Amino acid sequence: MITGKLIKKMREEAGLTQEKLAKATGITQAHVAKIENEKVNPTLSTINSILSVLQTNKKIKCKDFLTKKIISVKPEDSVNYTVMLMKKNDISQIPIIDKERCVGSISDKTILRNLDRVSGSTEVREIMDEPFPMISSNDNIDILKTLLEYHQAVLILEGGKVVGIVTKHDLLKLLK
């Protein structure tokens, strides 16, 4: 979740004053202050504008380290098949793809939470969670960091098509 405190932290890390951020985004300095102090709820377009400015100086893009081989299942696949895929590939979450669209997700937590409902023929669609968030391959890594605090994985898009996935594990590989 993008909070005023997060925006303030990102602004300070970028070396910008509230006034410079306001000028770059086309809002007033007072509005930036209210957002950072969480006195107002900004619109999505305002948040996107602020994030766009704060991320222009960052160089690492999602496309620089995404995993291109996406292991996925279909809504009609069985939970047993999904568990087998997870074990075989040593992963803890899988997107559910139907006709080139991500319609849901399933993770080890989802399966454990529904263990009492799962039988050999239970379909993934019966217990799936919401789809993973999806962002552009040109988006900055900071967006990923924020999303991965709350989600198991993030799908990466190019031209509206899923071209990769980034998990918490992928992001941890950046630490050297």
What pLDDT band is residue 175 in, cutting at 50, 70 and 90?
low
- pLDDT of amino acid 45: 85
Phi, psi of 164 (to 5 degrees): -175, 175
Given the candidates 2.60.40.10, 1.10.260.40, 3.40.309.10, 3.20.20.80, the CATH classification of the domain at 4-55 is 1.10.260.40
What confidence score (pLDDT) does residue 92 get? 93
Q: What angle do CA 106, 109, 115 make, to 5 degrees?
A: 90
pLDDT at 174 over 80: no
Residue 126, CA distances (Å) to 38, 78, 123 in order? 39, 10, 6
End-to-end CA distance of the chain: 27
Q: Which tokens sit at 163?
A: 């071209």
Q: Kindly tell me if the per-residue pLDDT of 14 is higher than 50.
A: yes
Question: What does the alpha-carbon distance between residue 115 and residue 79 come to, in Å, rounded to a whole number?
Answer: 10
Residue 119's pLDDT is what?
Answer: 85
Ranges of each domain in the chain: 4-55, 58-176
CA atoms within 13 A on the CB side of 24: 19
Burial class (CB in 10 A: 0-12, 13-18, 19+), 68: exposed
Condensed to tens digits (0 to 9), the pLDDT of residues 127-143 reads 999 999 999 998 878 78
The model's pLDDT over 60-93, given as tens digits with 9 standing for 90+, comes to 778 877 889 999 999 999 999 999 999 999 999 9
Q: What is the mean pLDDT of the chain?
A: 89
Residue 171 has pLDDT above 80, yes or no: no
> Per-residue DSSP letters for 43-91?
-HHHHHHHHHHHHTT---BGGGT-B-----B-TTSBHHHHHHHHHHHT-
Predicted local confidence at residue 176, as pLDDT? 47
Per-residue pLDDT reduced to its tens digit, 27-60? 999 999 999 999 998 888 898 889 888 876 556 7
Side chain identity, residue 75: P
Class in CATH terms, 58-176: alpha beta
Dist. CA 58–CA 14, nearest whole Å: 9
